[in-house]
């Protein structure tokens, strides 16, 4: 079916909406039949009303579907069919934005097709797929299923895979993602760019640390007041990390400190070297000239052949926001794959170059 009137994905958080979840006989839109339909109306971030109906699909429920949602043929045999339910459901959700988990390609399409078939009208509500937000923000989970993300946020999942319970779990995850990542979690683009926001690994991990500590210790433990106070002020992407936070996690927030090479550099002859950041020594062109004078090869980008990535002592204005740029990130990725790229700081590298050049002049 060509769903030309289907609503659009909303790329920001909304505080008034309806959460919708379906239980069905299968996982393919064209064949699946609805056996439970639930919705939770939210106004100003608070639950306002709930709707839930079991639905007789007019066919036997496959055993594999019953095994997941625990809805059986016996439970639905006296229930209304979808045609008798669809109008009351539409009255409940009205024109609200529909929030769901993995709803963009399944629930929204199934509801669109069902309403067209039963009433000759499309389901046109705009929607937010919380699964997409979880994938955008959470890098440390084994997958992004609702159950997995709930475990990550320490949300009780007892009773999941029933539509109303999954609506409530979806709200809990939706609220948690907004708390930690703001509108950017839902795909809001930065004002000065056109790409989807991606969070630096440092900020992602600090937010994960906050969630873990809250689960282990509970909030308000006096001995952790300073830590929680700092973590509560974890900045939005693009804002400067507070000095207090830098003081609490100096090595963690600076990947050069934690992953840098501090061994003595004897030679750079025929070594591939990339520089990043601003240098006390001078411009990058001047640093490149010094590298070449010492026999090294100055490259513009990090690659598998790179031997050293040299970080300028002045850093970069963007580094105050926890974003260290593609060169350092790529170097770290190569190191984690076992390649021998080394990250070094200007205060160690430049003096080593000068010693090499001086030694070469003496040898001549």
Residues 163 and 73 reside in one and the same domain: yes
Alpha helices by DSSP H, the chain:
63-69, 73-76, 82-93, 108-119, 130-137, 146-152, 163-181, 201-217, 225-232, 243-248, 250-253, 255-259, 284-293, 325-336, 346-363
Q: What is the CATH number of the domain that holds 294?
A: 3.40.50.10190
Same domain, 170 and 302: no
Q: Please give the pLDDT value at position 312.
A: 86
362 lies in some domain:
no
Q: Which two tokens stand for residue 329?
A: 């990130």
In a domain, 187, yes or no: no
> Beta partners for 272?
297
Measure the CA–CA gap between 25 and 14, rounded to whole angstroms.
31
194 is a domain residue:
no
Mean pLDDT, the chain, integer: 82
179, 209, 226 - which closes a domain: 179
Read off the pLDDT of each residue in 252-277 and give the average, rounded to a whole number: 74
CA distances from 85 to 25, 37, 111, 174, 287 (A): 17, 9, 12, 27, 72
Would residue 347 count as lying in a domain? yes
Q: Do residues 165 and 294 both lie within one domain?
A: no
- With respect to residue 186, please indicate whether it lies within any of the assigned structural domains: no
Q: Please name the residues in contact with 174: beta carbons below 8 A apart, sequence gap of 6 or more.
A: 19, 99, 128, 130, 133
| Both structure tokens of 29 | 């839109």
Final residue of a domain: which of 253, 271, 296? 253
Residue 250 above 80 pLDDT? no
> pLDDT digit string (tens) for 108-121?
999 999 999 999 99
> Is 363 inside any structural domain?
no
Q: What is the mean pLDDT of residues 250-273?
A: 69
Task: Express each pLDDT in 177-236 by its tens digit.
Answer: 998 888 888 986 544 444 445 555 556 566 666 655 655 554 444 444 555 555 555 555
Does 263 lie in the same domain as 249? no
d(CA 156, CA 363): 71
Instruction: Tell me the DSSP string of 153-189.
Output: TT---TTTTSHHHHHHHHHHHHHHHHHHHGGGGGTPB
Clarify whether residues 149 and 279 are in a common domain: no
pLDDT at 286 over 70: yes
> Does 165 share its domain with 42?
yes
pLDDT value, residue 187:
80
Contact between 7 and 55 (Cβ < 8 Å)? no
Lowest average pLDDT, out of 26-40, 196-210, 290-304, goes to 196-210
Residue 216 belongs to domain spanning: 201-253
Helix (H, G, I), strand (E, B) or coil at 40: strand
What's the pLDDT score for residue 182? 87
Boundary residue ending a domain (216, 237, 253): 253
* DSSP state for residue 321 in the 8-state scheme: G
Question: Over the stretch 40-90, which tens digit does the pLDDT of each residue have?
Answer: 999 999 999 999 999 999 999 999 999 989 999 999 999 999 999 999 999
pLDDT confidence of residue 222: 40
| CATH number, domain with residue 115 | 3.30.420.10
CA distance 260 to 106: 46
- Better-predicted residue by pLDDT, 211 or 318: 211
Instruction: Give me the pLDDT at residue 253, please.
Output: 47
Residue 5 lies in a domain: no
Classify residue 85: in a domain, yes or no: yes
Do residue 108 and residue 216 come from a single domain? no
- Is there a single domain that holds both residue 129 and residue 36? yes
Which residue do the tokens 């992004």 mark?
144
Query: For 210, what's the count of Cα atoms within 13 Å in the CB-facing half-sphere?
Result: 22
Same-domain status, 320 and 232 = no
Beta-bridged to residue 302, according to DSSP, are none
Same domain, 230 and 342: no
Return the pLDDT at 138. 86
* 22 lies in the same domain as 167: yes
Query: How many distinct structural domains can be found in the chain?
Result: 3
Q: Does residue 28 sit in the same domain as residue 89?
A: yes
């Amino acid at each position: 079916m060509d769903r030309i009137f289907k609503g659009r994905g909303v790329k920001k958080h909304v505080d008034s909406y309806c959460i919708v979840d379906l239980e069905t006989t299968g996982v393919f839109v064209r064949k699946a039949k609805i056996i439970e339909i639930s919705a939770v109306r939210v106004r100003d971030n608070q639950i306002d009303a709930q709707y839930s109906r079991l639905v007789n699909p007019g066919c036997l429920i496959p055993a594999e579907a019953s095994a997941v949602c625990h809805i059986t043929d016996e439970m639905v045999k006296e229930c209304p069919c979808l045609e008798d339910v669809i109008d009351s459901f539409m009255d409940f959700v009205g024109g609200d934005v529909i929030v769901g988990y993995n709803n963009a390609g399944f629930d929204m399409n199934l509801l669109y097709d069902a309403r067209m078939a039963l009433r000759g009208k499309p389901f046109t509500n705009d929607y937010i797929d919380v699964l997409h937000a979880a994938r955008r923000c959470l890098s440390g989970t084994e997958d992004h299923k609702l159950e997995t993300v709930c475990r990550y946020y320490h949300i009780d999942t007892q009773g999941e895979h029933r539509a109303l319970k999954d609506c409530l779990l979806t709200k809990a995850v939706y609220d948690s993602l907004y708390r930690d990542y703001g509108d950017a979690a839902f795909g809001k683009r930065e004002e000065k760019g056109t790409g989807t926001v991606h969070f630096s690994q440092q900020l992602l991990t600090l937010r994960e640390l906050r969630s873990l500590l809250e689960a282990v210790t509970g909030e308000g433990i006096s001995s952790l007041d300073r830590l929680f106070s700092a973590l509560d002020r974890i900045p939005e992407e693009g804002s400067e990390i507070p000095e207090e936070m830098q003081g609490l996690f100096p090595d963690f927030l600076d990947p050069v400190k934690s992953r840098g090479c501090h061994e003595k550099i004897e030679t750079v002859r025929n070594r591939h070297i990339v520089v990043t950041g601003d240098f006390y020594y001078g411009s990058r062109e001047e640093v490149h000239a010094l590298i070449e004078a010492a026999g090294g090869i100055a490259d513009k980008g990090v690659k598998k052949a790179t031997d050293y990535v040299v970080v300028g002592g002045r850093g970069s204005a963007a580094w105050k926001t926890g974003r260290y740029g593609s060169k350092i990130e790529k170097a770290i990725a190569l190191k984690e794959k076992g390649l021998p790229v080394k990250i070094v700081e200007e205060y160690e590298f430049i003096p080593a170059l000068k010693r090499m050049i001086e030694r070469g002049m003496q040898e001549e």
